[in-house]
Amino acid sequence: MTASQYPLTRHLPLTGKAALVTGGSRSIGAAIAKRLAADGAAVAITYSASPDKAAEVVATITADGGLAIAIEADAGNPGAVRAAIERTVAEFGSLDILVNNAGIALGGPIEAIDFRDYERMIAVNVTGTFVATQEAARHMTTGGRIINIGSSMARYAAFGGASLYTLTKGAIAGFNRSLVRDLGPRGITVNTVHPGPTDTDMNPDGGPVSQIVGPGMAIGRYGKPHEIASVVAYLASPEASFVTGADLIADGGFTA
């Protein structure tokens, strides 16, 4: 019998786990939600502007035999974020995995940044992550996983006009490092995945950013959302039990 003929037993590493993915209605967040569900987790996603897309993600997971719910929660609204965590715990009985994915990219040259854009970026990318993490930490038990989505831009500025975005992603990386000390003694790991250019609504392959960064991709192409989701799935899994405080770069060699 060849390896490809060998009967597969369905091994689901996240069976019995409950996950919340912020900004799970589209793009990388949707791919993460589907992957965690495929790995056996019950998955809640939050969304802000795309209820139909969120419903599609839930329908896809459900059709595949999984368990999923969508919760409207603007990441820039602390009350809504706290309520989303509480609803997840109420529906699934626990919260074992938090993926802080929701993010936006506003900015421009430093002289031209509108202060309202600054405030919105901090609210969604930084405050949203802080509040979700704080509330999740109150519910998580040993084995918990907090996974942040940073950016390769936090370590390598490939082009101008992104200082505000980089500020928020650098904040996440720093937050991650100290959190490890707070939550490690409780058996909770905290890691950040830093995607490089990935084909999404925010940064479509073929779009304006790709004209600039495309030549810098060592692997010669943009990433796909599922390629970021697979790194998150590893960090969520029992295989990553000794990995905490890590900055995992998944960028096709963009910052190598």
Active site amino acids: 165
Q: Per-residue x/- mask for ligand NDP, residues 124 to 163, rule CB under 6 A?
A: x------------------------x-x------------
Residue of minimal Cβ distance to ligand NDP: 103
Contact 243, 191 (CB under 8 A): yes
CB of 80 to ligand NDP, least distance (A): 8
Residue 76 in contact with ligand NDP, rule: CB under 6 A: yes
CB of 34 to ligand NDP, least distance (A): 12
SS3 149: strand
Contact 180, 244 (CB under 8 A): yes
Of 23 and 144, the one with the shorter C-beta distance to ligand NDP is 23
Residue 70 belongs to what H/E stretch?
strand 68-72
Binding range to ligand NDP, per CB under 6 A, among 12-20, 60-68, 95-103, 179-187:
95-103
C-alpha torsion sign, points 70, 57, 247, 124: negative
CB of 165 to ligand NDP, least distance (A): 7
Q: How many CB atoms lie within 10 A of CB 184?
A: 13
| CA pair distance 47, 72, nearest whole angstrom | 5
Of 50 and 237, the one with the shorter C-beta distance to ligand NDP is 50
Of 40 and 195, the one with the shorter C-beta distance to ligand NDP is 195
Subset of residues 207 to 246 that bind ligand NDP, contact rule: CB under 6 A: none
Contact 215, 172 (CB under 8 A): no
Q: How many residues bind ligand NDP (CB under 6 A)?
A: 29
Contact 56, 82 (CB under 8 A): no
Binding range to ligand NDP, per CB under 6 A, among 4-12, 88-96, 196-204, 242-250:
196-204
| CA pair distance 84, 75, nearest whole angstrom | 10
Longest dimension (CA), the chain: 66
Question: Among all chains, which residue has been given the structure tokens 């896809």?
Answer: 60
What is the contact surface with ligand NDP in residues (CB under 6 A)? 22-23, 25-29, 46-50, 74-76, 101-104, 124, 149, 151, 195, 197-198, 200-203
